Amino acid sequence: MTALSQEANASFAFTNTGDTPVSITAITSSCGCTTAELEKKTYAPGESGEIVAKFKIGGRQGLQTKTIQVKTDDSDTPTVLTMKTLIPKLLDLQPAFVAWKRGVAPDARTVIARIGADEAVHITKIETDNPAVQVQLEETEPGKTYRLTLFPDSTDESLTARITLSTDFPREKPRTFYLLAHVK
């Protein structure tokens, strides 16, 4: 699993250990992002099969837990399958946002940006939509780690600045990330 993976698959093997055929009557998932495929519905005694779950990652990140309920005609209680996927962040910002309280000293704040891909990723452009919060970018480990320094002109008034970080990765559709800075 990488930060750019688009899908995660898991297979759940099963065997009919009973004396009579068992039919799978319904499969439902906890999220529209997860589908489950089954070769056929009815399994004879001793017969094995597998349910293949496909999780469409989209913009998700971090630990994702998705469940699939399987109902059969031999039990009123569905079997719950759990699929856990750890999706690395392509760009991990620590902290994820910065905030100053109104009236405090407008000290600089530092945000460390770490690349979660195996390849080098470059932050090609950094912009703020509010000139009252200035931002400086420093590459501390080429293609891997960056240091952002933010400082407001003043903390007298509440404000928000949206910092846009453009990257060169992936090449076909480079990702953009956002960091909010608040005075509140």
Partner 1 sequence: MISSAPRVAGLRLAGLLCLSVVLASANAWLNPHRPAWNLDVLAEGEIALTDAMAVGDTALWIDARPETQYRAGRIGGALPLNEDDWNGQIQRVLEQWRPGRRVIVYCSSQQCQASHDVARRLREEMGMEEVYTLKGGWEAWLAHQK
- Please provide residue 120's backbone torsions phi and psi, each rounded to the nearest 5 degrees: -75, 135
Q: List residues bridging with 159 in a β-sheet.
A: 183
Q: Which of 4, 12, 14, 31 binds partner 1 (CB under 8 A)?
A: 31
State in angstroms the smallest separation of the CB of 15 from partner 1: 31
Q: Sort residue 143 into left (φ over 0), alpha (ψ -120 to 50) or beta.
A: left
Residue type, 92: D
Taking the least distance from each CB to partner 1, the nearer of 34 and 72 is 34
Neighbours of 104 (CB within 10 A): 10
Taking the least distance from each CB to partner 1, the nearer of 40 and 173 is 173
175 counts as binding partner 1 under rule CB under 8 A? yes
Residues touching partner 1, count (CB under 8 A): 24
DSSP annotation of 78: P
Binding site for partner 1 (CB under 8 A): 30-33, 56, 58-60, 93, 96-99, 158-160, 162, 175-178, 180, 182, 184
